[in-house]
Amino acid sequence: MSKKKLGDLMLERGLITSEQLTSSLEEQKSTGARLGQILIGKGLISEEQLLEMVSERLSIPKLSLSQMVIDPQVIHRVPVDVARRYTLVPVFEIGKTLTLAMADPLNFIAIDEIKYLTRMTIKRAIATESEIKSAIDDYYSVGDSLHHIIGDPVEPALDLTDIDASDENESDSAVVKLVNLLISKAVRENASDIHIEPEEDKLRIRYRVHGIMREEASPPKTMQNELVSRIKIASNLDVSEKRLPQDGRLMMQVDGANIDLRISTLPTIHGEKVVIRVLDRRNLLMKFEQLGFNKTIETAWKNVIHQPEGLILISGPTSSGKTSTLYATLQEVNSIEKNIITVEDPVEYSLPLIIQIQINEKAGLTFPSTLRAMLRQNPDIIMLGEIRDPETARMAVRSSLTGHLVLSTIHTNDAPSSISRLMDMGIESYLVAAGLKGVLAQRLVRVNCPDCLVQYKPTEQILVRAGLKDLSDVINFRRGEGCPRCKNTGFKGLVGIYEYVEVTPIISDLIMRNGTISQIRETAQRGGYIPLFEMGLEKIQEGTICLEELLKQTSNIEDTQDQSYFGAMSHAHA
């Protein structure tokens, strides 16, 4: 008995109607596309439903690649260009049999080609097209893809300097494909920026992933000028100007998501260095809990940001996630009833219902001048990107005393230090005491990879530095040992560590009397303030982070060691 056709199976299951099947078959005749893809494109079935039907009809297993870890030796049985061309990926081998996960398991041309390349028997499995493409991106390196794009040996690249950005032929060039590869790979690996760095005899490509610079395979030096020109054309920069720094921006779609890219060029002795800042709008959807807030700090933070007036500060070094916290906070307080205005340098994301202003110091649009103009627009909430100078600090404090809620950032080591920093800028202590409502300090720490988590004991030097030598047998230290899923780094993602100081009447009185940082810190601790390092210890106990990463990100360890806290921990585990 012959097997039922795919369309008839779907009709039987009630996934589509006979009219929908007829029209889709007509479309298949005219376009030559596969029936399943036509039905998915029309939104009549899902990719998973198609996978189920094909697996049943062909009696071949279906795989979930997201749940698998593939051996790199198996991956390299099939070249990246073949994997991309046929949308397939090798998943495992037993003896002389190689199993392929395929989006189209009836593609016998692909099977024959891989059989010829590997000299192995091929066994078929089926997986979704999206999962296969993601696996190709995850398991094949930039170097594999570069070889596919550029070829070997390398031919001289096209000169894009005089090509218009709208030229249809441009998309076929190796340079355009290379730029797309670098950006899409950065987005998929959660890189915050891409560094294209010219040296005397090579062009270096580095990604910053989770705060750490990582080198990728580099294109040949001969492509340097064309690569930089392509990026400058796409971001509307002056291609002919190579002696001065330039800043631009462009938008690109990766996996259906809009990605904002900020371009910065800098002349060096070996050519222009380009840094591409990657701003993924999907990160805007993050809630406080996803950022790393614990329940206590989240409750305290929500209480303070819903106050009608006052100054609220977020403190931390560059790349500590302050902007993400600010945008999450704006989303929390945003509503149709409130007039919210922000002043930023630069505006990183566009937010609905919020008026956003970008600083332009050359045109005289500075933080102080913009803030003065904003106050005439009757805002309920003001967000200043950063308090950089005494004038901005003074206006922020005074605005907080005249019925406005002011959110801003400041560069200090911890939350208590932010209070003294305002006074160091010349703000009178009585103004700080009256206007400041709370300070949040934060750091970003790399998260242990959950797929290769193991127990370990830190070295004695690390334990002594952390003040945890006596508790080394009490705390369950864990870290990632490295696996294919985390690119053998042992880390996967970032999490925030936060400390929060609420300016209570007691602390306000202490500020009025010009109390020292130590006095403010001690008073805050009696009121429940837990310093950054100790907040990090909670995440170490959970196995989320390792001690070495915590030490790397907390610069004020000596100040935050509270023996009573460690004693309490020791007693609790006795």
User: DSSP character for 282?
Assistant: G
What's the pLDDT at 147?
A: 62
What's the pLDDT at 304?
A: 96
What's the pLDDT at 499?
A: 95
At CA 249, angle to CA 244 and CA 255, rounded to 5? Answer: 140
Contacts of 230 (CB under 8 A, 6+ apart): 160, 175, 176, 179
User: DSSP character for 469?
Assistant: G
Stretch among 373-387, 403-417, 462-476 having the lowest mean pLDDT? 462-476
Contacts of 241 (CB under 8 A, 6+ apart): none
Give the span between the Cα atoms of 397 and 401, in whole angstroms. 7
Stretch among 24-33, 111-120, 137-146, 260-269 having the lowest mean pLDDT? 137-146
What's the pLDDT at 348?
A: 76
What's the pLDDT at 144?
A: 64
What average pLDDT score do residues 331-346 get?
A: 90
Note the pLDDT tens digit of each residue in 538-554.
999 999 999 999 998 88
What's the pLDDT at 340?
A: 95
Extract long-range pairs of 35-41: CB within 8 Å, 24+ residues apart.
35/6, 35/7, 36/6, 39/10
Stretch among 127-136, 192-201, 326-335 having the lowest mean pLDDT? 127-136
> Between 336 and 216, where is the model more confident?
336
310-315 and 405-410: which strand pairing?
A: parallel
Given pLDDT bands bounded at 50, 70 and 90, which one contains residue 112? very high
Give the span between the Cα atoms of 501 and 300, in whole angstroms. 9
Mean pLDDT of the chain: 84
Contacts of 213 (CB under 8 A, 6+ apart): 195, 206, 207
Give the span between the Cα atoms of 76 and 85, in whole angstroms. 15
Note the pLDDT tens digit of each residue in 57-83.
888 888 888 777 788 788 888 988 889
What average pLDDT score do residues 242-257 get?
A: 86
Give the span between the Cα atoms of 160 and 171, in whole angstroms. 11
Contact 194, 278 (CB under 8 A): yes
Q: Which of 551, 545, 536 is nearest to 490 (CA)?
A: 545
What's the pLDDT at 150?
A: 60
At CA 52, angle to CA 50 and CA 57, rounded to 5? Answer: 95
Given pLDDT bands bounded at 50, 70 and 90, which one contains residue 159? very low
Q: What Rg value do the Cα atoms of the chain yield, rounded? A: 28
What's the pLDDT at 160?
A: 36
Contacts of 532 (CB under 8 A, 6+ apart): 414, 441, 442, 443, 497, 498, 499, 554, 556, 560
Cβ-count burial 127-166 (b if 16+ within 10 Å, e if not): bbbebbbbbbbbbbbbebbbbbbbeeeeeebbebeebeee
What average pLDDT score do residues 343-357 get?
A: 85
For residue 20, is pLDDT > 90? no
Given pLDDT bands bounded at 50, 70 and 90, which one contains residue 104? confident
Give the span between the Cα atoms of 97 and 113, in whole angstroms. 15
For residue 158, is pLDDT > 70? no
What's the pLDDT at 572?
A: 40
Strands, E, within 316-425: which ranges?
Answer: 340-344, 355-358, 381-384, 405-410
Cβ-count burial 241-254 (b if 16+ within 10 Å, e if not): eeeeebebbbebeb
What's the pLDDT at 131?
A: 84
**Beta-bridge partner residues of 207:** 194, 214
Note the pLDDT tens digit of each residue in 517-530.
899 999 999 989 99
Q: What are phi and psi of 482, to 5 degrees?
A: 105, 130
Stretch among 180-189, 282-291, 311-320, 473-482 having the lowest mean pLDDT? 282-291
> Between 285 and 408, where is the model more confident?
408
**Beta-bridge partner residues of 441:** 315, 499
What's the pLDDT at 149?
A: 63
CA distances from 11 to 31, 32, 40, 52 (A): 22, 21, 15, 14
Note the pLDDT tens digit of each residue in 369-378.
888 888 889 9
Given pLDDT bands bounded at 50, 70 and 90, which one contains residue 153? very low
